[in-house]
Structure 1
Amino acid sequence: MAALRSAVRIGTTLDEDTTSAELIREVAGLVGGAAAVLSLGGEAGPRYESVVGNPAVLPVPGRVAAAVREAAGRGEGGSARAVLEDGRRVLCVPLTSANGHRCGVLVSGRQEAPFTPAEVEAVTLLTEIAASHIRHAREYDAVSGTVGKLQRVLLSEPGRPHPNLDLAIRYLPAGQNTLIGGDWCETVRLHFGRTLLVVGDVMGHGLEAAVDMNAYRSSLRYSASADLPPHRILRQLDDLAAGEPERRPATCLIAQIDPNRGQVTLASAGHLSPAVVDGQGRASLLPVPVGPPLGTGLGGYERVTYRLDPSQTLLLFTDGLVERRGEDIDHSLHRLAQVDFGAAPGIEDILDTVLTRLDARHAEDDVAVLAARLRHRSAPHHEERR
């Protein structure tokens, strides 16, 4: 019963160091003496990562490593071994997961009575449980790293922005231990000096959400190549996503900026309206007709056009920037509109200010923000059709 009670206290997080600390604490409490996890790899050679109890009753790390290698050579690599060394009772149990992957060695030592078969069995059980949790923690880290690399590629700065437009993008994942989700930003350079700006939010988190995000992004570039207005691009994205039952729904806001006409045309698929910051640093929201999220197959998207001059900055964002648990969304958006950005702010300053004032680094959801501003021009410029 004591071993079972100890087992539920191991693996409370997806963190390898925490799991190892929980293991040695429970083993030391169960059999007395000291306990530690021996790391076999690394340039520093075998070493104890941490110790609970008196380290003097534990053998030299090199001896344990040699004994493990010797046992492995005899085909006993996964077995627990209780030995007497220099008057100390030592129990060694390899941290080996179900797939045979070795994560280290649990070492317990004491100077009292020898380890009983029941104690060896209990410690072996706890070690196996810990090894399984450690394997899951490493798999989690590997997936998280994959998603992070994918997200950094997808959210990289625009490689070919239009010369008449200043752009800046920020992305903040929700928490240090949360898998990156499906928030994304995109820019597409169009004919005649126009630029398409997009923010989207795929439902959920993790690798699946990031993969669907990439699918929406690819579909967007395909639709944008036909030079369609924003509401028709949303209709095409909705049709494509609705034809793939496994695709997750997503919200999306598209802004088509025309520097020559000094205007922006917007369309929304279930997404929050953008904000505009004027030259005095005052923010206001631009009302946009909201259609259904992408993937529903319902369509019904509308566009709206506003004037935009070089003193104004357009701010597109995902809901993680403003939404807070238990708070009405209108109140959340009002808080954004009350932010004072200061006189003549740069677009990087605007992003720094909004992320700080809304405490976005402690948001409960991922945050993606895109800022865009027309550049002042001394003379009209018309780009030739590519």
Structure 2
Amino acid sequence: MPAAVTEAAGARLGVLRDALAGIGTTLDEGTTCVELTRAAVRLAGGAAAVMRRTGQTISGYEAITGDADALPDARWAAAVAREAAVPALGTEPAPWLEYVGGTRPRTALCAPLTSGDDVYGVLVWERSGPPLRRAEGELISLLAERAASHIRHARDYETVNRTAGDLQRALLSEPGRPHPNLDIAIRYLPAGGGVLVGGDWCETVRLHFGRTLLVVGDVMGHGLEAAVDMNAYRSSLRYIASADLPPHRVLRQMDEISSKEAELRPATCLLARVDPGRHQVTLASAGHLPPVLIARDGEATMLPVPVGPPLGTGFGGYESATHPLAAGETLVLFTDGLVERRGEDIDRSLARLSAVRFPVSGGLEDVLDTILGRLDARHAEDDVAALAARSHIRQGFSTDAAST
């Protein structure tokens, strides 16, 4: 083969390789369609657009590259998109349909966006001038095939993303009802600002005598599986906490139950039983970071708590610690995504949180805004869940009533 021919073939292969590499750079379907039409126009000139198909619903021209007025009759393209089917096994139909019509000589085609057993629409391409060569049609069809594969992945990702997000929102939307003597605010931020969630969660459980159990937990891992396991831990917590056991015994029973579920992922958990009547909080931790206490003057300190092993290990060994909690003071429970930074010692991370000073007259939402802002939580590498609580004594409620 002559060297010039070999060199030309190599150049065309390089152009095709670059075009294919530029399609599907993200998991966003719209972006993939734009990349497809741009690649088609770079390879063959003219104009290109996509008509997407979802079920039997066909979109109009989208992701247009080039002169939109030069594209063929949209009714023809819509009909092709609606009737396109995946080729039967063993058949080799033409990979595109050519269009003839209009007031000036031109070449147009529809290349179905097929992947597996699904059709996601068509790539519509048009060019004035010389007829379409078969090699050009095969290249454009190859681009459409590559884009369809990425569109399939994008739609699968969106489905999982939406399912996980719906599950997490349902679980976080109603974390329980604390007693009226306790104000609560909760925030949840997925890592990277996305929707796909992990196993971070918050909960509040009403107990007897005006006490409320506050809970924050973190199942190891991310995504739908972690969210499902989080639901299992949350259900277990609600059931066990209804018996009004001390926090360390709640953790002990949760650990016993979860350790018998082989497929359940380990989780950290922090319990805080707030007793406004006695002005105190009792803490117990299963491998979780301690809470921060914000005094009425805005100064923050970490409350020490005995740390036992994560839930699901079956080791047990949990203890409780009780601290004063005056009316008007704010207790904040959080998951490690709030403070942990890659390559940084955890003590330094917690010291950064303790160094934050808070407005004296701020509400709970202001407290969370300050924490998330000062620690740049929206750019955290892990999911962040935070629960802020502040007790106050209602008129007619007394310490004697709480101790009855």
Same fold, TM-score > 0.5, yes or no: yes
Residue of structure 2 in register with 1:241 after alignment: 258
> Taking structure 1 as reference, are residues 182 and 68 closer, same or farther at Cα in structure 2, changes over 3 Å only?
closer
Counterpart residue type for residue 307 of structure 2? V
Cα deviation per residue 1:337-383 (whole Å; 9 max; x = unaligned)?
11111213322221121122222222221111111111124441637
Residue of structure 1 in register with 2:273 after alignment: 256
SS in structure 2 of the partner of residue 85 of structure 1: coil
Compare 302-311 and 236-245 and name the one that shifted more: 236-245
Residue of structure 2 in register with 1:91 after alignment: 109
- Pair 1:61 & 2:77 matched: no
Alignment of 1:180-329 (within 5 A): 180-329=197-346
Asked if structure 2 preserves the Cα contact closer than 8 Å seen for 1:57 and 1:88, the reply is: no
State the distance in 1 between where 2:219 and 2:337 align.
12
Counterpart residue type for residue 348 of structure 1? E
Q: What displacement does 1:311 show?
A: 2.4
Residue of structure 1 in register with 2:373 after alignment: 356
Residue of structure 1 in register with 2:3 after alignment: none
Asked if structure 2 preserves the Cα contact closer than 8 Å seen for 1:71 and 1:77, the reply is: no
State the distance in 2 between where 1:152 and 1:70 align.
38
Counterpart residue type for residue 179 of structure 1? L
Counterpart residue type for residue 219 of structure 2? V
> Taking structure 1 as reference, are residues 376 and 98 closer, same or farther at Cα in structure 2, changes over 3 Å only?
same
Counterpart residue type for residue 27 of structure 1? A
Asked if structure 1 preserves the Cα contact closer than 8 Å seen for 2:53 and 2:81, the reply is: no
Cα deviation per residue 1:109-160 (whole Å; 9 max; x = unaligned)?
1123322222222222221221121122122122212211211121124443
- Pair 1:81 & 2:97 matched: yes
Q: What displacement does 1:29 show?
A: 1.5
> Taking structure 1 as reference, are residues 77 and 297 closer, same or farther at Cα in structure 2, changes over 3 Å only?
farther
Counterpart residue type for residue 115 of structure 2? S
Asked if structure 1 preserves the Cα contact closer than 8 Å seen for 2:23 and 2:32, the reply is: yes
State the distance in 2 between where 1:69 and 1:212 align.
41
Alignment of 1:326-341 (within 5 A): 326-341=343-358
State the distance in 2 between where 1:129 and 1:39 align.
15
Q: What displacement does 1:45 show?
A: 7.3
Query: CA RMSD for the aligned pairs?
Result: 2.6
SS in structure 2 of the partner of residue 295 of structure 1: coil
Asked if structure 1 preserves the Cα contact closer than 8 Å seen for 2:306 and 2:318, the reply is: yes
> Taking structure 1 as reference, are residues 48 and 218 closer, same or farther at Cα in structure 2, changes over 3 Å only?
same
Residue of structure 1 in register with 2:124 after alignment: 107
> Taking structure 1 as reference, are residues 350 and 358 closer, same or farther at Cα in structure 2, changes over 3 Å only?
same
Q: Given the alignment, which residue of 20, 44, 48 partners 1:31?
A: 44
Q: What displacement does 1:63 show?
A: 3.0
Gaps of 5+ in 2: 1-12
SS in structure 1 of the partner of residue 116 of structure 2: coil
Q: What displacement does 1:70 show?
A: 6.5
State the distance in 2 between where 1:68 and 1:169 align.
47
State the distance in 1 between where 2:223 and 2:349 align.
26
> Taking structure 1 as reference, are residues 293 and 169 closer, same or farther at Cα in structure 2, changes over 3 Å only?
same
State the distance in 2 between where 1:225 and 1:262 align.
22
Q: Given the alignment, which residue of 12, 15, 38 partners 2:25?
A: 12
Counterpart residue type for residue 19 of structure 1? T
> Taking structure 1 as reference, are residues 384 and 136 closer, same or farther at Cα in structure 2, changes over 3 Å only?
farther
Asked if structure 2 preserves the Cα contact closer than 8 Å seen for 1:269 and 1:301, the reply is: yes
Show structure 1 runs of 4+ deviating over 6 A. Answer: 75-78
Compare 10-19 and 110-119 and name the one that shifted more: 110-119
> Taking structure 1 as reference, are residues 69 and 284 closer, same or farther at Cα in structure 2, changes over 3 Å only?
closer
Question: Scaled by the length of structure 1, what TM-score is found?
Answer: 0.91
Counterpart residue type for residue 28 of structure 2? D
